[in-house]
Structure 1
Amino acid sequence: MPANFLHGVETIELDKGPRPIRGVKTAVIGLVGTAPMLDVDPADRSLNRIRLVANDRDAARYFGQNRAGFTIPSALNAIFDQGNGPICVVVNVLDPASDTTAVADEAKTFDAATGKLTLAHPQVSNVVVKHTAGTPTYVLNTDYTLDAANGTITRKAGGAIASGQSVKVSYSWLDPSKAVNSDIIGAVDGAGNRTGMQAWLNAYQELGFFPKILIAPGFSTVNAVATELNVLAGKLRAIALVDAPIGTTVQQALTGRGPAGAINFNYSSDRLGLCYPHLKVYDSASGAEILEPMSPRLAGRIAATDQDKGYWWSASNQEIKGIVGLELPLTAMINDPASETNLLNEAGIITVFNAFGSGIRTWGNRSAAWPSNTHPRNFINIRRTADVIHESIEYSMLQFLDQPITDALIDAITESVNLFLRTLVMRGALIDGHCGYDKAKNPVTEIALGHLTFDITFMPPPPLERVSFESFIDINLLSQLGGNG
């Protein structure tokens, strides 16, 4: 019955038919670690809360310079080296107010030419400059100026410090080693705030999407951190990448897949990617090669592949950019099952392929679920494609919830999902897919409770991991000899 009386004509708009389903973001990397926050303007500093970083300018603005010992700037640099548009949801856990180490009476001398001295550590606070005799204590901005980010002190002309004078300096410096595994793992504090990697759980409410590739470089070598990454990957429908410790041999990496192993590789999760070995990177600050974990560059490579080709593509056999070599050489032959790269892949470990003329490439399609689980979900790209389909459909159902259950509603839901699946088939993300309504799964008792069940069937294309040729030497082909005569 109409809600009110009308003697006249009206038009009532009704929504009928299917609705478009929008795919969720996939090229989003969740990064947790430590940053030199004294490089950052106080208004842009963050602690245990998410920051959105879309490019190298954001990286410098919110997380500072690439300094030794701090994990976030180097990881962002590694990610953006891989190209095309990843988005990073970053959490810094290092607190400039408390994660410091004190230095007492460090003896330094001002350079006579420049009037400067540089302390043994950057990122300094609570600086006290004294005469070598202990008195007087010099006054900031009267006798000297301070560049706290770089740990540089400059004498002021007309101040009490003489040219070339020696002094004693006491200070505290932001020490990245103060960040412990519990800081990275995080928790919910007494005020209800999520800290560490738990802050990623706030991403949808704040940004409208979750990170889908999770990393904690420099910390994921520890089982406790790797375990929590796996837990969060399940909650966020993401994958997490963990690194073997520096110095791990091939045998130790393989042994680590079992209970007798001494490293963080004893998992069978289809949401964990196991990364080995570390990579050599040229450090312009020191002019030397340093080792960095593989996980940030693999994360960047996965995100770039998502953007360039699609999330249904494997990121294996793709060039890794910005590195000069591997922690240790690995034998890599495309046709040798006994090569070290193949043995690692066979054990469910993602590694690096570097053969003559190949360049340095990611190598490995499978998660830690392999070889204990042979379901196609152990292919990382299939796991991620299924996640995208499930989450995209779930979010799209908000527009149908609480409508009256009718045949029209059932048809609208099934056709909306089928339109989405057909679009994915046309893009190459699926071989085929279908959504249907099975009356047998929807008894009247469930419908009366406002509950409908639909079936979704689909199959993403698996990556071509192995090619076999059967070769025959056929003597019958000799009969063609002499045919010109």
Structure 2
Amino acid sequence: MHGIKTNVLTTGTRAIAALSSGIIGLIATADDADAQTFPLDTPVLVSNLRAVLADAGTTGTLRTALDAIYDQTSPILIVVRVAEAETEEDQDAAVIGDAGLYSGLYALLAAQAQTGYRPRILGAPGLDTQAVTTALATVARRLRAMVYARGIGNTIAEVAAYREDFAARELMLIWPNWSNAFAGDAVARAMGLRAQIDQETGWHKSLSNVAVQGVTGISENLFFDIQDDTTDVALLNDAQITTLVRSPAGGFVYWGNRTCSDEPLFAFEPAVRTSQMIQDEIARGLVWASDRPLTRFLIKDVVDTGNARLRSLVAQGRLIGGRMWFDDALNPAENLANGQLVIDYDFTPAAPLEGLTLNQRITDRYYADLAAELATDLAAA
């Protein structure tokens, strides 16, 4: 070459973009819904909830669930309409569907391919039997999503026993229901509220203690006192059941932060969602590195990119801390030569303030100040 040649080198850190976490995946029935807007067993993208309400019909659960969600916010939804059935067994079969055919709730697995969006908040309000909830939790694990489902039982003891049937970090159970409402109202409103919190605050804030719109009461009488740990509400929370209360500050709220996880590290809803979102954000943010020459410069760029995102999340208050690093013990030469790289990272999620202890003391020491102040006043007079 006789002249000047410029090589454009793409090295250094890349920005990792935030992912949308408030996308709802709704399973519902409605025999009279518009079949073109809501075809059966098909993930349908709804970006304007209000615009499709007229097409949702009046039978089944679809319209009532959409109304309850819309009372909280107007999120992006993936709606899968399933056929109505006469028996619970047949209804469960229709809701669960066939994994091989991507029908029923398994259609949510095809949502990203068909719509470009991955649902993160899953539920089948009014249809969530134990069989359906179990299947939803399985799908949620694959989607890295959270399921909100009703606790089944007529008493606190029965609901607590029902909770013992699950060991899924991706599942939050809710009991009882809002009063004068369809069976899935508490779940539908929880899904809408979860999407609202994600939009306005972030995935690091739990569902608990945020005002719920459109409700007037609770279906069961529950004793609640924020300063008493022996109440009905405390018993439900101890059993990892999220419940409903009238807030001391006014209005109605969900009360509870716990999942059905059998791993204590994922007992809190925000810990699960933090893990899910960081996992997907970092993995997607490092796609550019795949198939590039595996050099020390590439490894440094990967680590620096991950650490930049973790630092950003700490600065936003979404994490307490986090770090990514290269461990040479996990990367022997033969593995690197074979194109295999292992990078470690850790993080500490922000736990919700679930218990606040206030120490009250009665004392007479402030009378000493009173006497001094009185003496000053008298001297001035």
Q: Highest Rg: 1 or 2?
A: 1
Structure with the larger helix share: 2
In structure 2, the partner of 1:339 is: 231
* CA deviation after TM superposition for structure 1 residue 23, in Å: 1.9
Residues 77 and 347 from structure 1, CA distance in 2 versus in 1: closer, same or farther, beyond 3 angstroms? Answer: same
* CA deviation after TM superposition for structure 1 residue 356, in Å: 5.7
Identity %: 31
Query: Aligned equivalents of 2:251 and 2:340: distance in 1?
Result: 54
In structure 1, the partner of 2:70 is: 80
Which of 79, 93, 99 is the equivalent residue of 2:82? 93
Query: Aligned equivalents of 2:302 and 2:243: distance in 1?
Result: 42
In structure 2, the partner of 1:161 is: none
Give TM-score, length-normalised by structure 1: 0.72
Aligned length in residues: 374
In structure 2, the partner of 1:239 is: 146
Report the 3-state secondary structure (helix = DSSP H, G, I; strand = E; otherwise coil) of the residue aligned with 1:362: strand
- Confirm or deny: 8 A CA contact 1:49 1:91 kept in the other structure: yes
Q: Is 2:94 aligned against 1:183?
A: yes
In structure 2, the partner of 1:227 is: 134
In structure 1, the partner of 2:189 is: 297
In structure 2, the partner of 1:273 is: 172
Query: Aligned equivalents of 1:56 and 1:45: distance in 2?
Result: 13
Query: Aligned equivalents of 1:198 and 1:242: distance in 2?
Result: 17
In structure 2, the partner of 1:64 is: 56
In structure 2, the partner of 1:374 is: 264
- Confirm or deny: 8 A CA contact 1:350 1:362 kept in the other structure: yes
Query: Aligned equivalents of 1:15 and 1:478: distance in 2?
Result: 72
Q: Is 2:217 aligned against 1:325?
A: yes
In structure 1, the partner of 2:285 is: 396
Structure with the larger strand share: 1
In structure 2, the partner of 1:419 is: 308
Instruction: Give CA deviations for 1:129-152 in whole Å, capped at 9, x if unaligned.
Output: xxxxxxxxxxxxxxxxxxxxxxxx
Which of 185, 188, 205 is the equivalent residue of 1:313? 205
Residues 476 and 236 from structure 1, CA distance in 2 versus in 1: closer, same or farther, beyond 3 angstroms? Answer: same
* CA deviation after TM superposition for structure 1 residue 82, in Å: 0.7
- Confirm or deny: 8 A CA contact 1:23 1:389 kept in the other structure: no
Query: Aligned equivalents of 1:211 and 1:81: distance in 2?
Result: 20
Give TM-score, length-normalised by structure 2: 0.91
- Confirm or deny: 8 A CA contact 1:55 1:80 kept in the other structure: no
Query: Aligned equivalents of 2:279 and 2:43: distance in 1?
Result: 25
Q: Which moved more, 1:439-448 or 1:380-389?
A: 439-448
Report the 3-state secondary structure (helix = DSSP H, G, I; strand = E; otherwise coil) of the residue aligned with 1:180: helix
Residues 366 and 456 from structure 1, CA distance in 2 versus in 1: closer, same or farther, beyond 3 angstroms? Answer: same
Report the 3-state secondary structure (helix = DSSP H, G, I; strand = E; otherwise coil) of the residue aligned with 2:24: strand
* CA deviation after TM superposition for structure 1 residue 205, in Å: 1.6
- Confirm or deny: 8 A CA contact 1:341 1:351 kept in the other structure: yes
Instruction: Give CA deviations for 1:22-57 in whole Å, capped at 9, x if unaligned.
Output: 1221001111121234x42x5434111100112333
Q: Is 2:298 aligned against 1:409?
A: yes
Report the 3-state secondary structure (helix = DSSP H, G, I; strand = E; otherwise coil) of the residue aligned with 1:459: strand
- Confirm or deny: 8 A CA contact 2:122 2:140 kept in the other structure: yes
* CA deviation after TM superposition for structure 1 residue 176, in Å: 9.8
In structure 1, the partner of 2:37 is: 44
* CA deviation after TM superposition for structure 1 residue 280, in Å: 2.2
- Confirm or deny: 8 A CA contact 2:127 2:184 kept in the other structure: no
Structure 2 residues not aligned, in runs of 5+: 376-381
* CA deviation after TM superposition for structure 1 residue 250, in Å: 2.0
In structure 1, the partner of 2:102 is: 194
Instruction: Give CA deviations for 1:161-215 in whole Å, capped at 9, x if unaligned.
Output: xxxxxxxxxxxxxx798961111111145xxx31001111112222333111110
Query: Aligned equivalents of 1:291 and 1:450: distance in 2?
Result: 53
Partner AA of 1:352 in structure 2? L
In structure 1, the partner of 2:111 is: 203
- Confirm or deny: 8 A CA contact 2:206 2:270 kept in the other structure: yes
Query: Aligned equivalents of 1:58 and 1:238: distance in 2?
Result: 26
In structure 2, the partner of 1:54 is: 47
Query: Aligned equivalents of 1:257 and 1:31: distance in 2?
Result: 22
Residues 223 and 396 from structure 1, CA distance in 2 versus in 1: closer, same or farther, beyond 3 angstroms? Answer: same
Residues 188 and 460 from structure 1, CA distance in 2 versus in 1: closer, same or farther, beyond 3 angstroms? Answer: closer
Report the 3-state secondary structure (helix = DSSP H, G, I; strand = E; otherwise coil) of the residue aligned with 2:157: helix
Query: Aligned equivalents of 2:95 and 2:296: distance in 1?
Result: 50
Instruction: Give CA deviations for 1:270-311 in whole Å, capped at 9, x if unaligned.
Output: 111011012124xxxxxxx65543111111111100001111
